[in-house]
Structure 1
Amino acid sequence: MLVGDLVADHYLYGQTDRVSREAPVLIVRYESSEVKLGGGANVAANIRALSGQVTAVGALGVDAMGSSLRKLFDAADIRLHAVSSRSIETETKTRILAGGISTTRQQMLRVDRGQRGPLPPRMRKAIARQVATAAKDADAVVVSDYGAGVVNDEVREALRKLAADGLPVCVDSRYALAAFAGLTVCKPNEPELEALTGRPVRTKEDLLEAGREAVRKLGCQALLVTRGRHGMALFDAKGGVDLIPVHGAKSAVDVTGAGDTVIASFALALAAGASFGEAARLANVAGSLVVQKPGTATVSREELLEALRSRR
């Protein structure tokens, strides 16, 4: 089960070859557009691409982007338990990409739209009920918190009950990791780890101290820290540390949504019976593959298997 902020990643593509007379900006002539599953929806898409079965729980507005996401969930064969309301706007990130006739398109601008402030109380309670219902058929839970209000106090309490009952609950929270104490696994990147502990992470020793402090502070069984080109670090509640080097030698093309792929593959591995260490190493390979793709992307089961075979 995935619970989190369901985001419409909206891409506008165009061509540019001159500067506006009105202001020092490039003029983009529109060519095409597309919507992709983003945020928590991208986590669900990655689980499905890896051949996992997934139910997505979240909130959608009664608007064009909400309708587009519903169609994409259906096309991807992802079960959707979304609470809807005309009083909210579907979380949307619009990216404008453009280039010259013979050049690669580059992202020029991003415009974000969505809910400002907490969701209405009725929706908050409804989402918590959906979490409890959908979890009955789940082998693991992924929490994707982008700060859009879906993962509220009521939902966090429901998640703690699930974790206490032994269901693995894996959390990726952009801004509020400290609010997720008592769950199974937390996945910060290094800046998020610094924000959580108040410690700068500049050296290996800094990383070890901050990671161990985070495990104590969160009361989690494992902490997976993503470190970009330096790989990952896995900490456990017994004091163990596994420093995992980055997979492959290629430079990243686009890191958009890489954390989604990592938490998706990690949680799916746990659901299939892997240890924390095995799950982390699979997630490390999956993350290295997705950053080679432009924009919001997924990694398929076949791609992951091929990458694992090539390491032998």
Structure 2
Amino acid sequence: MRRPVEIEDPAAIVGRFAGKRVAVLGDVVVDEYLYGQTDRISREAPVLIVRHESTGRVLGGAANAAANLASLGARAVAIGAIGDDEAGRALGALCADAGIEARFVVVPGSHTETKTRILAGGINTTRQQMLRLDRGRTAPLSEEAVAALVSSLRSIAAEVDVLLVSDYGSGVLCPEVISEVCRLASQGVKVCVDSRYNLGAFTGVFLAKPNEPELAAATGLPVGTAEASLHAGKVLQRALGCEAVLVTRGRSGMTLLESGQAPDLIPVHGQEEAVDVTGAGDTVIATLSLAVAAGASLSSASRLANVAGGLVVRKPGTAVLTPDELLRELCA
């Protein structure tokens, strides 16, 4: 029997998603999938030969968080940096198709972040990932690009219900941009942060969402058990001075630490095995941010995000959810 999901009037929360405006600032990525068939080993080296069948591209990184917001009904804005290349143009086109307002800074001579996954299998078998090739910018952003990002961030801040920061460590969240994020947070902008490597820099934000390895890196403390993660989460919350910390713990669920409230231990949702965890964190932070924008309590928003994460890992590749999928799951 499915464990009841303790969310205050989820249909009302999801119903208020439409029209909420959420900006995503971060490292936008093109997730590229090359599908093929393989049935023999190369004579040149001990590697499989893949006969290319098709290529697909979807929004990844911070752009995947924006795609989830748009799919759930929000008016999503994506702020980031791209190169003056074919991948950057593809990223803009994918955003337009998804209904995302793209405010990208184009960096001349730079390469757009692209993650190419090669998936292959035999005849009538499921294609499985064999290799991932990452391409992108290697140099820091120029002063002009940083200034353009800060300007774009300032101009959008007053127009959004929530600012979501999606930091994959690819350089958009440089010190100057982080400083502006913290300044906006101090002025009352609700900022929700998902940062892979630099969480400790985002002081004064509304909410931080680390997974356990990120929590351990940010605090220097052990994690892995409920008690250890709870302690490390409290340390992080004090260090950042934030309203809440949501620790995602994989198969062990989530832990919500909210100022003035007892810790909320949220069990993992669903019994199904994960098909693909790619981008699941983007779905979680997007759903959480949108639920906060829609007026949900942090407990309800976190539990709704937990359900969303449990659903999206059942889908292959980088995926998004719809309001109907969420409501069907919640009302089942």
Answer whether TM exceeds 0.5 for this pair: yes
CA contact (8 A) 1:231 1:245 kept: yes
CA distance in 1, matches of 2:300, 2:147: 36
Q: Which has the higher contact order (CA 8 A, sep 6+)?
A: 2
CA distance in 2, matches of 1:70, 1:112: 19
Give 1:19-168 correspondences, 5 Å limit.
Answer: 19-168=41-190
Amino acid at match of 1:261: T
CA contact (8 A) 1:216 1:237 kept: no
Question: How far is 1:237 from its partner?
Answer: 2.9
CA contact (8 A) 2:212 2:224 kept: no
Q: Secondary structure at the match of 1:126?
A: helix
CA contact (8 A) 1:212 1:239 kept: no
Q: Secondary structure at the match of 2:314?
A: coil
The TM-score with structure 2 as length reference comes to 0.92
Partner residue of 2:318 out of 267, 288, 296: 296
1:225 corresponding residue in structure 2: 247
Partner residue of 2:214 out of 183, 192, 197: 192
CA contact (8 A) 2:163 2:190 kept: yes
CA shift in 2, pair 1:117/1:238, >3 Å: farther
| Sequence identity percentage | 56
CA contact (8 A) 2:167 2:194 kept: yes
Amino acid at match of 1:204: A
Q: Secondary structure at the match of 1:148?
A: coil
Q: Deviations over 1:30-82 (max 9, x none)?
A: 01101110000000000001001111111111101101111111111111111
Q: Which runs of 4+ in 1 moved over 4 A?
A: none
CA distance in 1, matches of 2:185, 2:292: 13
Question: How far is 1:85 from its partner?
Answer: 2.0
1:253 corresponding residue in structure 2: 275
Question: How far is 1:21 from its partner?
Answer: 1.0
Q: Secondary structure at the match of 1:286?
A: helix
Question: How far is 1:161 from its partner?
Answer: 2.2
1:11 corresponding residue in structure 2: 33
CA distance in 1, matches of 2:107, 2:182: 27
CA contact (8 A) 2:157 2:163 kept: yes
CA distance in 1, matches of 2:311, 2:226: 25
Q: Deviations over 1:216-239 (max 9, x none)?
A: 111111001111111110012336
CA distance in 2, matches of 1:192, 1:84: 30
Q: Does 1:204 align with 2:239?
A: no
The TM-score with structure 1 as length reference comes to 0.97
Q: Secondary structure at the match of 1:172?
A: strand
For structure 2, the residue ranges without an aligned partner over 5 or more in a row are 1-22
Question: How far is 1:268 from its partner?
Answer: 0.4
Q: Secondary structure at the match of 2:133?
A: strand
Q: Deviations over 1:133-154 (max 9, x none)?
A: 1122100010000111111122
Amino acid at match of 2:113: E
Q: Deviations over 1:153-204 (max 9, x none)?
A: 2221221122122221000011111111221111100111111111111322
